[in-house]
Amino acid sequence: MSQIVEVKVPDIGDFKDVAVIEVLVQPGETVRVEQSLISVESDKASMEIPSSAAGVVKEVKVNLGDKVSEGSVVLTLEAADAATGAAATAPASKPAAAGAPAPAATSTAAGSVAPSAGPRAAAAPPAAARTGPAPASYGGKADVECEMLVLGAGPGGYSAAFRSADLGMKTVLVERYASLGGVCLNVGCIPSKALLHTASVMDEVAGLPDHGISYGPPQIDLDKLRAFKDGVVKKLTGGLAGMAKMRKVEVVTGVGTFLDPHHLEVTGSDGGRKVVKFQKAIIAAGSQPISLPFLPKDERIVDSTGALLLKTIPKRMLVIGGGIIGLEMATVYSTLGTRIDVVEMLDGLMQGADRDLVKVWEKLNAPRFDRVMLKTKSVGGKATDAGIEVSFEGEKAPDGPQVYDLVLVAVGRTPNGKRIGAEKAGVAVTERGFIEVDRQMCTNVPHIRAIGDIIGQPMLAHKAVHEAHVAAEAAHGEPSFFDARQIPSVAYTDPEVAWAGKTEEECKAQGIKIGKAVFPWAASGRAIANGRDEGFTKLLFDESTHQVIGGGIVGTHAGDLISEVCLAIEMGCQPADIGKTIHPHPTLGESIGMTAELFEGVCTDLPPARKK
């Protein structure tokens, strides 16, 4: 007997109100369990929401641009029988990019609850309750044997390998790049920050005439600038190689593919092959940039890796995607002299951050952009001698195609789960390529764990490092769990935008009653002395517990300052804990203490609060 059931958005971690960017099914279509129904996008990545039941779609309840959270109804379908219908009300498997384990601290309508003072929660059952594919069986010989294999040497991977070695496990680390560090150190976080530092210094010098000090226009030597960037990368990756050697971690260079649950084949750039036999494994294979199929293959169309090569300084550049990565690269190229257009299909840039933080950045950065095209998307591209001709559709689409010297595609990243032969190891991979894990980073195969981008968002190196330590320690039998109460995000733009814990938008969506305090940097002696007082510091407190549950900072060095807010959230601090902590003066960091004082009504660096 058929039954009409509702299919809802399952647990997607800490992410709320993510925008629907694509509807993948329509009424009358037959769907299977785990089939992707819609695509949604946050500030860091896009993800697909799977179906928790099989049947025929009766009605799609969401449209493009709608915001959805856990529990939102995606569609109704006619299930084949009652058993299938029941599946829709059972917890659905987590969507692709939301595989990060849930925090140990619980959240209720009243807000976050501090973890108990006793031991951490007992081990959760492996994500493994999910059935994986039938594993293969390899009968050949092995060239290398180890207790722990780590696939991928990004920040998560090398941290997992080093921690495993420190715990006494014989460890092999497999990495496709010639140097350790993965995307982050080689072609991501580190080289981009080197260029952003240079851009920041250039912008600061440009403002010195107001201080009575003037220089001539900058003379840009791209070869030297690239050499500086590459030198930064070489220093860090070289240091990693030294630490691997000191720990006796064996590094095998090449692309790794599982042969069965205990063997991995590594193919080197020269075509040579090695087989590694392992007792345990940690998958840290990361992600790669999403490409747009309607754009032609052309060296003038690049992802973040291509943009970091800095081959030329284009006169005109289009950034597709208004997230953090695109805006950071826009900052670099703009400072070097490029005119920038940005196209973003959602209604604002830097999604994920509260709008009051972003508005400060937008005001200061308006001169960098010729066009900021919100609620607009690129729909076509053509390579011509004059440049890349791009067509647009949407609310702020220009009249006719536009021609650019360089097009940066920064619309998110996709995991590498389907590129490592995981099915041969019996590891379950979602349709989108993510691997689900429990709070000890365990996959459905008990001796294989996974961390980092490949298990879901937020796709951040600092999250992966903490997961790596948990994975290595849990594999060694330690009672280690991933129970973070917050994971900070930072846009290393100018000014920087940083936030941690819950945002105001999340609190509103979850019905959490909060108190808020905002300290303007216009009252900060250090910010004024620096000539950069446009920013502010904000703290959010749960009205029921009086604990800090979120915070945001916009201004110079916000990324460095947010760490105190992170610690305060993890410790369940109340405003007095922060405000009565003596901060050095004059610093930007003391704005955090003053914000807490402001919330308590005892701040003497601002006019007295009006009595209610």
DSSP state of 442: B
In this predicted structure, the answer to whether residue 333 has a pLDDT above a threshold of 50 is yes
Mean pLDDT for the stretch of residues 80-93: 42
Task: Characterize the bridge pairing of strands 273-283 and 106-108.
Answer: unpaired
Secondary structure letter of residue 114 according to DSSP:
P
Please tell me the predicted confidence (pLDDT) of residue 103.
37
How, if at all, do strands 496-501 and 489-491 pair? antiparallel
Looking at residues 30-36, what average pLDDT do you find? Answer: 84
pLDDT band, residue 139 (cuts 50/70/90):
very high
Range with the poorest average pLDDT among 100-114, 506-520, 572-586:
100-114
CB-based contact 147:280 (threshold 8 Å): yes
Average pLDDT, the chain: 90
- H or E element, residue 305: helix 304-308
Which of 7-11, 45-49, 555-559 is least confident?
A: 45-49
Q: What percent of the chain has pLDDT over 70?
A: 90
Q: Which pLDDT band holds residue 335 (cuts at 50, 70, 90)?
A: very high
Does residue 474 contact residue 442 with C-beta atoms inside 8 Å? yes
The separation between the first and the last C-alpha atoms of the chain, rounded to the nearest angstrom, is 61
pLDDT at 105 over 60: no
Q: Flag whether pLDDT at 125 surpasses 90.
A: no
How distant, in Å, are the alpha carbons of 381, 457, 495, 580 from that of 353?
30, 15, 14, 28
DSSP for 363-402 reads HHHGGGEEEEEETEEEEEEEE-SS-EEEEEEETT--SS-E
pLDDT higher than 60, residue 102: no
Lowest-confidence pick of 24-28, 348-352, 469-473, 549-553 = 24-28
Give the separation between CA 592 and CA 359, rounded to whole angstroms.
20
- What distance in Å separates the CA atoms of residue 524 and residue 558, rounded to the nearest whole number? 14
According to the model, what pLDDT value does residue 23 have? 87
* pLDDT, position 269: 93
Please, which residues bridge with residue 39 across strands?
22, 48
Are the C-beta atoms of 326 and 408 separated by less than 8 Å? yes
Overall average pLDDT of the 354-381 stretch: 97
**pLDDT score recorded for residue 43:** 58
pLDDT digits (tens, 9 = 90+) for 372-421: 999 999 999 999 999 999 999 999 999 999 999 999 999 999 999 999 99
How sure is the predictor about 161, in pLDDT bands with cuts at 50, 70 and 90? Answer: very high
Q: Work out the average pLDDT over 322-332.
A: 98
- Residue 169 scores a pLDDT above 90: yes
Confidence check: pLDDT of 609 > 80: no
**Cα–Cα dist 416/256, whole Å:** 11
What are the tens digits of pLDDT across the range 7-28? 999 877 667 788 888 888 888 8
In this predicted structure, the answer to whether residue 116 has a pLDDT above a threshold of 50 is no
Report the pLDDT value the prediction gives residue 1, as an integer from 0 to 100. 57
Q: How confident is the model at residue 344 (pLDDT cuts 50, 70, 90)?
A: very high
* Average confidence (pLDDT) over 460-466: 98
Tokens representing residue 470 in the block = 């948990």
- Domains along the sequence of the chain with CATH: 3-95 (2.40.50.100), 144-288+415-475 (3.50.50.60), 301-411 (3.50.50.60), 492-600 (3.30.390.30)
Say if residue 98's pLDDT is above 80.
no
Instruction: Report the pLDDT value the prediction gives residue 91, as an integer from 0 to 100.
Output: 40
Q: What percent of the chain has pLDDT over 90?
A: 81
CA–CA gap between residue 408 and residue 307 (Å, rounded): 7
Confidence check: pLDDT of 454 > 60: yes
What pLDDT, on a 0 to 100 scale, did the predictor assign at position 14?
Answer: 62
Cβ-in-10-Å burial (0-12, 13-18, 19+) of 543 comes to exposed
Q: Point out the residues that are catalytic.
A: 585
Kindly state the average pLDDT of the residues 421-428: 98
Q: Is the peptide bond before 209 cis (omega within 30 degrees of 0)?
A: no
State yes or no: pLDDT of 473 exceeds 90. Answer: yes
Question: 154 or 43: which carries more pLDDT confidence?
Answer: 154
